[in-house]
Amino acid sequence: MSDTAKLAVGGKDTDFPVLHGSVGPDVIDIRKLYAQTGEFTYDPGFTSTASCESGLTYIDGEEGVLLHRGYPIGQLAEQSSFMEVAYLLLNGELPSKDDLSTFKNTITRHTMVHEQLATFFRGFRRDAHPMAIMCGVVGALSAFYHDSTDISDPEQRTIASHRLIAKMPTIAAMAYKYSVGQPFLYPQNDLSYTANFLRMTFGVPAEEYVVDPAVEKAMDRIFILHADHEQNASTSTVRLAGSSGANPFACIAAGIACLWGPAHGGANEAALNMLREIGTPDKIPHYIERAKDKDDPFRLMGFGHRVYKNYDPRATVMQKTVREVFKAMKVTDPVFDVALQLEEMALKDDYFVEKKLFPNVDFYSGVILSAIGFPTSMFTVLFALARTVGWVAQWNEMISDPAQKIGRPRQLYTGPTQRDYVAIDKR
Ligand code: ACO
């Protein structure tokens, strides 16, 4: 394995160091490329660019592998809890019993939001999309904690991270309550992180809300499956925003904005809408043909992934969880049969086989969330809630990295070259 890569530019050979990670492809360190050759690299969409060094999450897209701090996602989803995975991502190791209990206690004691934040919600129209509310309200947290957040102090960074993880379920539940015109519920500290969220979302002050343990378990697992996913678009957004030293609450709001798009977190909403539109298995071939038609903008939502060229390991767990939730809640949904048959047909179709398009995490998540009772507009909010753990862990890792610099890509300029200004009456 060579430790340098040779690049011939302008008749001159230049060597660049090759860096080796613990697993995965080597990377060519081109930080000195411009200084040594006067040229840039061109990689829109960052398909071949490692933007940072990270020890959090590893994905092997060809093999369908996802590891958090080395632990396979399937094992974490089956055996761990969201709080434990959050601790793992933030701290690098699984917690001891005492560590986990202290961590849960800390998170629980930060779940309330400032009472003034409730008035902030009232500025939104009652039919506002909850993701619009999340962008605004999470960004507004920066106003509450700006002076108390010195990002160069690791302890203050930890407090900001705990606040974000703790307050996201409260804010997400408030966004939901606001959209249905029901009163906000305060957190209840004797409940788990996930049960507390379910109660704040579906409970009402008029009666006691009993959390169904099967639903709590499924929800917790869905949170685990969305906790982190290395340098995806929203995480890169959080890192880029944070690279300027910006307030972390504002950085997470930037991540939420990016996640909202249908090519990213919004795909779960789009996937369920698509499955409902298909409606019955006999219409599946028509939609498969549309997805293959280059002149039709329609894509199979919940299918394909920038990194996975194999089955998304999160989709495997998600499909199993659908069955568990249906069994526990004694419900069925014809949309699940459509999803199963659509997957089966697509995976036999040459177009999807050749392009290595497989179901991603979003393909089945909407079916479960809908069975639990969430409207589609809340799906991406739940994703944001869970991904906050990854965002803050990645942001912390970046700020602690001594090699960290402000993110500042360059460009291939194709606009006009220099020309003289022409007065308006001469144009
Ligand atoms: N349906 C039909 N064709 C597809 C699909 C799809 N879902 N996804 C990709 N393709 C085709 C493209 O048309 C393209 O064909 P071409 O080579 O003939 O032009 C080829 O497969 C490659 O697609 P790209 O868009 O270039 O791949 P990219 O890696 O940029 O995109 C993405 C990945 C955005 C996820 C894409 O697969 C997609 O749009 N999927 C549907 C949306 C979705 O489910 N997003 C969720 C992603 S997971 C997440 O954010 C949690």
Residue type, 337: D
E strand or H helix at 83: helix 82-91
| Nearest atom in ligand 1 to 226's CA | 51
For residue 205, report the distance from its CA to the centre of ligand 1, in Å: 44
Active site residues: 305, 362
**Cβ 306 vs Cβ 315: under 8 Å:** no
pLDDT in the model for residue 1:
58
| Nearest atom in ligand 1 to 45's CA | 30
Between CA 326 and CA 334 the distance in angstroms is 12
pLDDT in the model for residue 427:
95
- What's the order of all strands across the beta sheet hosting 57-60? 57-60, 65-68, 71-72
For residue 355, report the distance from its CA to the centre of ligand 1, in Å: 9
**Cβ 169 vs Cβ 192: under 8 Å:** no
For residue 358, report the distance from its CA to the centre of ligand 1, in Å: 10
Between CA 254 and CA 10 the distance in angstroms is 40
Tokens (6 digits) for 105: 């206690």
Tokens (6 digits) for 332: 């069925």
Q: What is the DSSP string of 395-412?
A: HHHHHH-TT---------
Residue nearest atom 20 of ligand 1, based on CA coordinates: 355
| Nearest atom in ligand 1 to 229's CA | 51
Pocket test of ligand 1: the residue of 306, 352, 358, 362 to mutate, having most ligand atoms within 8 Å of its CB, is: 306
Residue nearest atom 14 of ligand 1, based on CA coordinates: 355
Between CA 258 and CA 304 the distance in angstroms is 19
For residue 304, report the distance from its CA to the centre of ligand 1, in Å: 5
Residue nearest atom 8 of ligand 1, based on CA coordinates: 304
Residue nearest atom 17 of ligand 1, based on CA coordinates: 355
Q: Helix, strand or coil for residue 117?
A: helix
The structure tokens 């697509």 sit at 346
For residue 219, report the distance from its CA to the centre of ligand 1, in Å: 27
| Nearest atom in ligand 1 to 351's CA | 3
Q: Which residues line ligand 1 (CB under 6 A)?
A: 263-265, 267, 291, 299-306, 355, 357, 360-362
Residue nearest atom 30 of ligand 1, based on CA coordinates: 306
| Nearest atom in ligand 1 to 355's CA | 21
Q: What is the pLDDT along the chain (427 residues), one digit of tens a residue?
A: 569 999 998 889 999 999 999 999 999 999 999 999 999 999 999 999 999 999 999 999 999 999 999 999 999 999 999 999 999 999 999 999 999 999 999 999 999 999 999 999 999 998 899 999 999 999 999 999 887 779 999 999 999 999 999 999 999 999 999 999 999 999 999 999 999 999 999 999 999 999 999 999 999 999 999 999 999 999 999 999 999 999 999 999 999 999 999 888 888 888 999 999 999 999 999 999 999 999 999 999 999 998 899 989 999 999 899 888 888 888 888 999 999 999 999 999 999 999 999 999 889 999 899 999 999 999 999 999 999 999 999 999 999 999 889 999 999 999 999 999 999 999 9
pLDDT in the model for residue 59:
96
Between CA 379 and CA 220 the distance in angstroms is 14
Residue nearest atom 24 of ligand 1, based on CA coordinates: 306
Pocket test of ligand 1: the residue of 352, 357, 362 to mutate, having most ligand atoms within 8 Å of its CB, is: 357
For residue 60, report the distance from its CA to the centre of ligand 1, in Å: 18
Enumerate long-range contacts of 155-161, CB under 8 Å, 24 or more apart: 157/248, 157/396, 157/399, 158/90, 158/396, 160/248, 160/249, 160/392, 161/90, 161/248, 161/392, 161/393, 161/395, 161/396
Residue type, 305: H
pLDDT in the model for residue 10:
83
Q: Is 70 left (phi over 0), alpha (psi -120 to 50) or beta?
A: left
